[in-house]
């Protein structure tokens, strides 16, 4: 029996994870937590808000599924990796904002990171058993979001409800807006860099509107392996929780005979500057990805509240990155300080962009 601690139990990943756990006799939910919504009765140990590492300490899990949204997910990631416990990771910020710290914690603890993000789970599966030297590069696919064919000018007036209507994936509001700006793909490039140890120039992004191919790995012999399937998060969640078993899920097989067409194209980096901003922050290293992430969280929240235009999101992120210093952080405390400073600056810039 594998004991699962589920953090972020009431969100989109959390509720799908509950479905996977309840359907699998080998998985036992030992603890459940959420940031703000009540979770009493979901598991033997529950907690809403506060320091989730206290809950983990009592729960003694075999695997922690971290599906907390945002920077708040960091302490649980570091706690899990320091102890050598398997981390099923659905919290992007853990690797984006704290990639260096997370990898150092994993090195000390000796545990595994099992990615839950669909693209990274796909790449992880394609890489299974591959000799590291045989890998040429990684290709992450992006649906392109709801505004795929719009130019920068047309994007100025889009509303939160238009941005929340994602064409292929059903997800929480923060990640749905990030998908519409392509920041989500930018964060995933940084995440992939840390997860797979690949330099940024060997992580490619292509637009693939139907979201059937989740990632491809190119090998040095010219072959590429692709991971294909319905866009359904229960697959990567189940894969991470039951690894290496690959348990059954209710997700149906792809119907290839009905005429499946796979389309790919280059992303429009002019209309969607967040992708290049994220890549540049990743390449700059230090705390630049942490600052990028903090500024983006503030800007997305302001956009959802109707206080910032859609095109103000990359503007706030870019200006915050030039205003805040980004030297490496020695530990979580320093990272928390940098995150807070970036949020203050981004908040002030948000008010400036509007007025
Ligand atoms: Mg993803």
pLDDT in tens, 80-89: 999 999 999 9
Instruction: List the one residue out of 60, 11, 83, 176 whose CA is nearest residue 75.
Output: 83
pLDDT, one tens digit per residue, over 232-258 is 999 999 999 999 999 999 999 999 999
Gap from CA of 352 to ligand 1 centroid (Å): 31
C-alpha 173 – ligand 1 centre gap (Å):
14
Say how many Å lie between the CA of residue 125 and the centre of ligand 1: 15
pLDDT at 171: 77
Whether the pLDDT of residue 71 is over 90: the answer is: no
- C-alpha of residue 12 to centroid of ligand 1, in Å: 13
SS3 of 236, please? helix
The number of angstroms, rounded, from the C-alpha of 232 to the middle of its chain's C-alpha atoms is 15
Separation of CA 140 and ligand 1 centre (Å):
9
Q: Which two tokens stand for residue 274?
A: 């967040």
Instruction: At 20, list the tokens.
Output: 């996977």
**Distance of alpha carbon 231 from the chain centroid:** 15
Those residues whose C-beta lies under 8 Å from the C-beta of residue 208, and which sit 6 or more positions away, are 141, 142, 143, 144, 262, 263, 264
* Closest C-alpha to 159, from 311, 348, 352: 311
Summarised one tens digit per residue, pLDDT across range 199-245 is 999 999 999 999 999 999 999 999 999 999 999 999 999 999 999 99
Query: Cα of 166 to ligand 1 centre, how many Å?
Result: 13
In three-state secondary structure terms, 4 is strand
> How is the chain split into domains, by residue range?
2-115, 144-201+269-354
How close is the Cα of 44 to the center of ligand 1, in Å? 30
2-115 adopts what CATH topology? Rossmann fold (3.40.50)
User: Phi, psi (5° rounding) for residue 183?
Assistant: -60, -35
- The owner of tokens 């956009």 is 303
Per the CB < 8 A criterion, the answer to whether 8 and 91 are in contact is yes
Nearest to 262 by CA among 305, 196, 227, 212: 212
Task: Tell me which residues have their CB within 5 A of the ion that is ligand 1.
Answer: 117-119
Tokens of 104: 């150092």
Q: What are phi and psi of 99, to 5 degrees?
A: -55, -50
The alpha carbon of 2 and the centre of ligand 1 are apart by a number of angstroms equal to 26
pLDDT digits (tens, 9 = 90+) for 126-143: 999 999 999 999 999 999
Q: How far is the CA of 171 from the centre of ligand 1 (A)?
A: 10
Distance (Å, rounded) from C-alpha 278 to C-alpha 152? 18
Residue 58 CA to ligand 1 center (angstroms) comes to 31
CATH top-level class of 144-201+269-354: mainly alpha
């Amino acid at each position: 029996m594998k004991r699962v601690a589920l953090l972020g139990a009431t969100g989109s990943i959390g509720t799908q994870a509950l479905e996977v756990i309840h359907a699998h006799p080998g998985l036992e939910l030992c603890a459940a937590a959420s940031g703000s919504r009540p979770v009493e009765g979901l598991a033997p140990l529950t907690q809403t808000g506060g320091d989730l590492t206290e809950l983990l300490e009592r729960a003694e899990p075999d695997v922690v599924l971290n599906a907390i949204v945002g920077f708040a997910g960091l302490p649980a990631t570091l706690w899990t990796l320091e102890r050598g416990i398997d981390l099923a990771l659905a919290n992007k910020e853990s690797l984006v904002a704290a990639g260096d710290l997370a990898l150092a914690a994993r090195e000390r603890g000796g545990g595994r990171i099992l990615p839950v993000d669909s693209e990274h789970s796909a790449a992880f599966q394609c890489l299974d058993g591959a000799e590291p030297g045989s890998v040429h590069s990684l290709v992450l696919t992006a649906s392109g979001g709801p505004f795929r064919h719009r130019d920068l000018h047309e994007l100025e007036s889009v509303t939160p409800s238009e941005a929340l209507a994602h064409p292929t994936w059903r997800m929480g509001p923060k990640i749905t807006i990030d998908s519409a700006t392509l920041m989500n793909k930018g964060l995933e490039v940084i995440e992939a860099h840390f997860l797979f140890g690949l330099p940024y120039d060997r992580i490619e992004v292509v637009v693939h509107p139907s979201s059937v191919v989740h990632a491809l790995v190119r090998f040095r012999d010219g072959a590429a392996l692709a991971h294909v399937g319905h866009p359904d998060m229960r697959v990567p969640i189940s894969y991470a929780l039951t690894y290496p078993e690959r348990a059954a899920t209710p997700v149906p097989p792809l119907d290839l005979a009905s005429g499946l067409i796979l389309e790919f194209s280059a992303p429009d980096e002019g209309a969607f500057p967040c992708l290049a901003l994220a890549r540049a922050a990743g390449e700059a290293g230090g705390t630049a990805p942490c600052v990028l992430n903090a500024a983006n969280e503030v800007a997305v929240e302001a956009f959802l509240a109707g206080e910032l235009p859609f095109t103000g999101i990359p503007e706030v992120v870019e200006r915050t990155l030039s205003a805040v210093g980004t030297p490496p952080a020695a530990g979580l405390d320093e990272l928390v300080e940098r995150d807070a400073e970036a949020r203050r600056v981004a908040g002030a810039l948000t008010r400036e962009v509007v007025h």
